[in-house]
Structure 1
């Protein structure tokens, strides 16, 4: 039987890069998607050399809907069938709502919401029904908790959570396993690494390294887990979130943000 082929979006850095390496270590061929001039060819060459898997790259801006279609046109021309789709590409921020312009929020919604929906639809249309397929949607704990300065980002991740759970119910009899990855903070970029090192207590313990998140994500995906929450503290926070009354959670959030909240 031919090897599995996985599409990984946002693959050039951070969690996407770690997910690509984790899949390659399991002898899975890759289709890596990222923006032009983001280092994708170099990553592809590294993976080919060290893991001996086939790597196809697609450099494009997924906020443009036509590029989602073009990706699967490319696969068809290469006679490739994708068995795994990892919807990882996303745009985050940590800022007050009025501090970012309309263009930023439009791009954030297009990449975090519209692109995963389009790619998932196109992915399902080309599946080989005789072989088990896997869909891994990357959400975030930001989609579960109300956190100022992550208002639109958190809302897009809430959408991904709802979207994934609906698909799980709709397609539970199909030959596909659908998982939602809900990580906490991840040290994906130098600026985040610096910021995360300033955290203390529980906040600091929620931060996870991308390699660890990638391992738990792919391992959980193949086990058929419906939701994957890396880290024991993060799992505990989700449980507490379901128990605590809303006004208590609001008090905790406001107390933590008191030094920076605008009065």
Structure 2
């Protein structure tokens, strides 16, 4: 499926109000793709949808939805069904994070993180399968992270949730070939983030040099035509995978030093 094949069809982008999600919206709208934009911040979402409609002449539906809420995916699907909208591209980008010692977070915050980062991905894929399979070809892009490759102290729950997404997406890539649905796993690499605590930096090279959100999106979309299972916009992931073969105690201590929040 080439990007130009999506012109006039509908894409659903979660976490669309900023960062990589917003960039997906910008690049898809420029290609003539109609958009369902989902995020929590209604004002940003509405402004984005208005601008994209005016600039590119597409249809853009802004839906301020908290994916941490139970039944959010099901209710979103039902809403779009009532409006006669069938999604051809699903971009699961929404994510929450807590960059700090584990005990400083609340159980409620961690439950919300897991619901958004992992459970919402599963539920959205499950609910929209029939819509996606109704097209000649269609795709899902699930945004993972290099954090999926090893345990990350001080980002313990976030990294674990991304490891879930990473493995789930690759398994689904194989399962859903028979439906004509490509499932792509995108590793975006370091981009400017709004994760709590991230602005404080790290003591080492845990994050590295950040790049603009446009780069991973520009890399991801052309790979739809290649049916690529994993698209990596991050540097050093091969090193990460080899590093993970070292003794676990050593790996965990080294990653801890890299990601210890700065003062």
What's the TM-score bracket when you normalise by the shorter of the two chains? Answer: 0.7 to 0.9
TM-score between both structures, scaled by the size of structure 1? 0.87
Deviation at 1:172, TM superposition (A): 2.2
Q: How many angstroms does 1:199 deviate by?
A: 7.8
Q: Any gaps of 5 or more consecutive residues in structure 1? A: none
Q: Structure 1: how far apart are the matches of 2:73 and 2:21?
A: 17
Matched, 1:223 2:222: no
Partner of 1:246: 246
C-alpha displacement at 1:111, in angstroms? 0.8
Taking structure 2 as the reference length, what is the TM-score of the superposition?
0.87
Q: What corresponds to 1:95 in structure 2?
A: 100
Gaps of 5+ in 2: none
Asked if 1:44 is matched to 2:66, the reply is no
Partner of 2:208: 204
What is the aligned partner in structure 2 of residue 122 from structure 1?
Answer: 127
Structure 1 residues 191 and 171: CA distance shift in structure 2, 3 A = closer
Aligned-CA RMSD value? 2.6
1:59 equivalent to 2:61? Answer: no
Q: Kindly state the Cα deviation for residue 47 of structure 1 after the two structures are TM-superposed.
A: 0.5
Residue 24 of structure 2: aligned partner: 19
Aligned to 1:111: 116
Q: Deviations over 1:187-237 (max 9, x none)?
A: 1449888556x78768534x2211112211222234321111114xx2xx2
Paired residue secondary structure (1:62):
coil
Match of 1:143 in 2: 148
Q: Taking structure 1 as reference, are residues 190 and 159 closer, same or farther at Cα in structure 2, changes over 3 Å only?
A: closer
Answer 1 or 2: higher relative contact order, Cα 8 Å, separation at least 6. Answer: 2
* Residue of 164, 179, 184 corresponding to 2:184: 179
